[in-house]
Amino acid sequence: MAPAFIYLASQSPRRRQLLEQLGVRYELLLPDAGEDSESLEQVLPGEAPARYVRRVTGLKLDAALQRLQRRRLPPAPILCSDTTVALGRTIYGKPQDDADARRMLRELAGRTHRVLTAVAVAGGRRRLEALSDSRVTFAPLSAAQIAAYVAGGEPAGKAGAYGVQGRAAAFIPRISGSYSGIMGLPMHETAQLLRAFGFKT
């Protein structure tokens, strides 16, 4: 029998929207006030971007499984995801402030970078994961363009300091890979994982 719903352990409104697009019913399983979810995203010295994003997604899933147990919630599969931007082996997480966002965008301007999104689903004794790897090319950007974009507030909370579904789309002449993966939840890979858990997607 197919599960009735899935727990989504993510605060991202974009991931909710993409899960709704798949027609999957979900309940949010967000961190408790005392949980330090940011510390899970620390990069280890010399860590490769793909290894990093898969490790962080696994840690988020571990934390969500503990949360489910602690809250004594009804059992259901849990979905976690994490997205990172990489230029070579340099990992670009969420900007700390506006100055950090401007620095990231200056470094990404006029170049092609990778966007890696890992997805992991756990339910019962099963645990499956997938990785989406896309390329995004930025046009050259002036300091004024970068400053105006950052002033609009869009980079906050986004890996690489931009959202492909927002105003930054005007900076991007070319994408290769999964648009939904760049947004934060690759639809194809996610649907495959959910089907393995009995969902009809």
List active site positions: 82
Task: Measure the CA–CA gap between 29 and 7, rounded to whole angstroms.
Answer: 6
In order, the DSSP letters of 139-178 are PP--HHHHHHHHHTTTTTTSGGG--TTTGGGGG-SEEES-
Contacts (Cβ under 8 Å, ≥6 apart) of 193: 79, 119, 120, 121, 128, 129, 130
- For residue 91, the SS3 value is strand
- For residue 92, the SS3 value is strand
Other beta carbons within 10 angstroms of residue 172's beta carbon come to 14
Contacts (Cβ under 8 Å, ≥6 apart) of 162: 105, 108, 149, 154, 155, 168, 171
